């Protein structure tokens, strides 16, 4: 049956591509086109509806931008029921908001998103802020530079880059999320093509979808993206940016090999695209085999937009970070920042500058590493001993989480697993949260140890194993019946 036989263009000013997109959305909502069904090729549909190929391309781009379709490289476009994705995301978000307002004494938060546990020495913060106020007086509340506190910018350049950068290229931002948003607003236009890792950070996906860009997802391996598939996309499409998390990628925890970094930088020059490097956890390296060499440090051709967050390692809830802009984008990104919130808290910038310049930074990083490596080691040990027949994972060797994939015998939709565990006060992040399509990531989930001590890790992992075994037995009983 031809599902397009009843389609007719309206005699109004609505563009044809919008009318086609709205008709297809209605078919998806009414389940006449099912979740995951392949949409007709551009050539087939243009012939069927009597329009040119560009009209169908625009209609499909609109569907993708509004969450009703997704693209598989080299295969075509596929339908996605928007409410499936949005309803669960909303439920997940509302659950965490409610959780953050409750007593978490008996709760095991493997999402890492409640921020109830703070491993920063609060007395140090009090001392630093008092010292800043005594030193600078009322000036501590005012910024001397729209791009950030001048002394902080210089201290960042000295402490982390050994003065290899120009201070003018450093822009202080209110955390990594704002950095991604500023870059997106500054250099991305509707229907620009960008490549993201698959899976990737949900906050970045949200920003890019708002900009209505075309997303190409690139499978991630144990040392970075698949370069053969990456270059094929570059050959066939004009790519504006590649968004990557070079260390302890969220959610997979993988870090890029030096070889892949160098090759991606070469490809950026060959195919004229820019790399957005989101470096949010590179301080938390637990094994000496992992060396800290970000894309930006290798960047000879000014191709990397580097974003660094201090939120996880300075103080959760105080949003601070910085962005390094290539010269070509410097003014554009500065204007994008100023249009967003004019300036970031001057007092906290001055406090961060003193924290770094007095070397308290290094002491706290050591304390964080000492604590988190204990949790990492415990969770890894439990996974290896108690879950070896249940799931697989790539050892992150640092960071704050593990990304787990269920084996065939224990395959259960992890959105359902989230709901089952929630009833027992254990909270995980289902893999589907990190993909553009809810068809992906159904057998995976992330376990973060950021908000769990060793006692809660043991408790939560015990309950997790019980629920997975219970789900397996339930699935087997359904098959028997």
Domain final residue, candidates 359, 391, 406: 359
Q: Encode pLDDT of 278-316 as tens digits.
A: 998 899 999 988 999 999 999 999 999 999 998 877 766
| Rounded average pLDDT over 14-28 | 87
User: Would the pLDDT of 61 be above 90?
Assistant: no
Domain final residue, candidates 311, 337, 359: 359
The pairing of strands 429-430 and 444-448 is: antiparallel
The percent of residues in the chain predicted with pLDDT above 90, rounded, is 59
| Rounded average pLDDT over 467-476 | 80
Q: Please check whether residue 283 lies inside any domain of the structure.
A: yes
Q: Please check whether residue 4 lies inside any domain of the structure.
A: no
Residues 302 and 320 in one domain: yes
| Rounded average pLDDT over 449-476 | 90
C-alpha distances (whole Å) from 370 to each of 113, 417, 447 are: 21, 32, 19
Angle at the Cα of 438 from the Cα atoms of 317 and 471, rounded to 5 degrees:
90
Domain final residue, candidates 309, 335, 359: 359
Q: What is the pLDDT of residue 136?
A: 92
| Rounded average pLDDT over 90-99 | 82
Q: Please check whether residue 413 lies inside any domain of the structure.
A: yes
Q: Please check whether residue 116 lies inside any domain of the structure.
A: no
| Rounded average pLDDT over 451-460 | 95
Q: What is the pLDDT of residue 76?
A: 85
Residues 339 and 400 in one domain: no
Q: In the structure encoding, which two tokens stand for residue 276, read together?
A: 């957005």
The percent of residues in the chain predicted with pLDDT above 70, rounded, is 95
Q: What is the pLDDT of residue 90?
A: 80
Residues 177 and 242 in one domain: yes
Residues 265 and 347 in one domain: yes
Q: Strands (DSSP E) along 302-378, which ranges?
A: 304-309, 321-324
Residues 194 and 284 in one domain: yes
Contacts (Cβ under 8 Å, ≥6 apart) of 44? none
| Rounded average pLDDT over 146-163 | 94
Q: Please check whether residue 52 lies inside any domain of the structure.
A: yes
Average pLDDT, the chain: 89
User: Would the pLDDT of 228 be above 80?
Assistant: yes
Counting runs of H as helices and runs of E as strands, what totals does the chain give? 16, 16
Range from 80-84, 139-143, 200-204, 460-464 carrying the lowest mean pLDDT: 80-84
Residues 76 and 89 in one domain: no
| Rounded average pLDDT over 230-245 | 96
Element spanning 241, H or E: strand 239-244
Instruction: Check: CB of residue 212 under 8 Å from CB of residue 185.
Output: no
| Rounded average pLDDT over 185-204 | 93
Q: Encode pLDDT of 120-147 as tens digits.
A: 777 888 899 999 999 999 888 887 788 9
- Closest residue by Cα to residue 284 from 114, 456, 461, 112: 112
User: Would the pLDDT of 83 be above 60?
Assistant: no
Q: Please check whether residue 155 lies inside any domain of the structure.
A: yes
In the three-class reduction of DSSP (H, G, I as helix; E, B as strand; rest coil), residue 230 is classed as: helix
pLDDT band at 205 (very low <50, low <70, confident <90, very high): very high
Q: Please check whether residue 2 lies inside any domain of the structure.
A: no
Q: What is the pLDDT of residue 86?
A: 60
Contacts (Cβ under 8 Å, ≥6 apart) of 78? 36, 37, 38, 39, 69, 70, 71, 72, 437
- Closest residue by Cα to residue 244 from 236, 254, 259: 254
| Cα torsion through 437, 439, 440, 446, rounded to 10 | 100
Q: Please check whether residue 117 lies inside any domain of the structure.
A: no
Residues 24 and 98 in one domain: no
Contacts (Cβ under 8 Å, ≥6 apart) of 38? 75, 76, 77, 78, 79
Supply the range of the domain harboring residue 397.
84-110+363-480
CATH of the domain at 45: 1.10.10.10
User: Would the pLDDT of 240 be above 90?
Assistant: yes
User: Would the pLDDT of 409 be above 90?
Assistant: no
Number of domains in the chain: 3
Residues 255 and 384 in one domain: no
CATH of the domain at 97: 3.90.1150.10
Residues 236 and 316 in one domain: yes
Q: Encode pLDDT of 354-369 as tens digits.
A: 999 988 888 888 989 9
pLDDT band at 204 (very low <50, low <70, confident <90, very high): very high
Residues 270 and 354 in one domain: yes
| Rounded average pLDDT over 345-350 | 90
Residues 274 and 293 in one domain: yes
pLDDT band at 411 (very low <50, low <70, confident <90, very high): confident
DSSP state of 14: S
Residues 284 and 432 in one domain: no
């Amino acid at each position: 049956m031809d599902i397009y036989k009843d389609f007719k263009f309206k005699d109004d000013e609505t563009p044809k591509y919008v009318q086609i997109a709205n008709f297809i959305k209605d078919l998806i909502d009414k389940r006449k086109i099912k979740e995951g069904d392949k949409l007709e090729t551009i050539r087939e549909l243009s012939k069927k509806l009597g329009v040119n190929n560009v009209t169908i391309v625009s209609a499909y781009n609109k569907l993708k931008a509004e969450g009703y379709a997704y693209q598989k490289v080299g295969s075509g476009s596929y339908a996605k029921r928007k409410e499936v994705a949005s309803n669960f995301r909303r439920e997940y978000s509302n659950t965490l908001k409610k959780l953050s307002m409750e007593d978490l004494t008996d709760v095991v938060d493997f999402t890492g998103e409640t921020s109830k546990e703070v491993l920063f020495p609060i007395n140090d913060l009090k001392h630093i802020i008092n010292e800043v106020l005594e030193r600078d007086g009322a000036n501590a509340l005012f910024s001397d530079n729209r791009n950030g506190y001048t002394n902080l910018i210089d201290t960042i350049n000295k402490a982390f880059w050994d003065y290899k950068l120009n201070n003018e290229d450093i822009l202080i931002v209110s955390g990594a999320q704002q950095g991604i948003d500023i870059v997106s607003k500054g250099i991305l236009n509707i229907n620009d093509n960008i490549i993201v890792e698959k899976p990737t950070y949900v906050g970045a996906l949200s920003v890019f979808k708002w900009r209505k860009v075309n997303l190409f997802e690139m499978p991630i391996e144990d040392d970075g993206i698949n370069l053969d598939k990456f270059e094929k996309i570059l050959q066939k499409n004009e790519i504006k940016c590649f968004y990557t998390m070079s260390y302890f990628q969220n959610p997979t925890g993988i870090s890029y090999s030096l070889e892949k970094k160098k090759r991606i930088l070469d490809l950026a020059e060959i195919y004229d695209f820019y790399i957005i490097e989101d470096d949010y956890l590179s301080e938390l390296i637990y094994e000496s085999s992992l060396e800290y060499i970000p894309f930006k440090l290798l960047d000879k051709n000014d191709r990397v937009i580097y974003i660094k967050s201090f939120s996880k390692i300075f103080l959760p809830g105080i949003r601070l970070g910085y962005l390094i802009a290539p010269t070509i984008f410097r003014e554009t990104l500065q204007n994008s920042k100023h249009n967003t919130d004019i300036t970031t808290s001057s007092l906290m910038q001055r406090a961060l500058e003193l924290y770094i310049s007095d070397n308290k930074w290094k002491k706290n990083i050591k304390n964080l590493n000492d604590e988190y490596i204990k949790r990492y080691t415990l969770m890894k040990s439990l996974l290896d001993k108690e879950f070896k027949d249940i799931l697989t994972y790539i050892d992150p060797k640092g960071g704050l989480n593990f990304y787990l994939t269920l084996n065939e015998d224990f395959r259960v939709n992890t959105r359902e697993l989230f709901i089952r565990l929630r009833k027992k006060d254990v909270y995980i992040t289902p893999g589907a949260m990190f993909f553009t399509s809810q068809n992906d990531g159904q057998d995976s989930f992330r376990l973060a140890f950021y908000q769990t001590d060793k006692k809660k890790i043991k408790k939560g992992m015990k309950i997790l194993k019980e629920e997975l075994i219970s789900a397996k037995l339930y699935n087997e009983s359904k098959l028997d019946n």
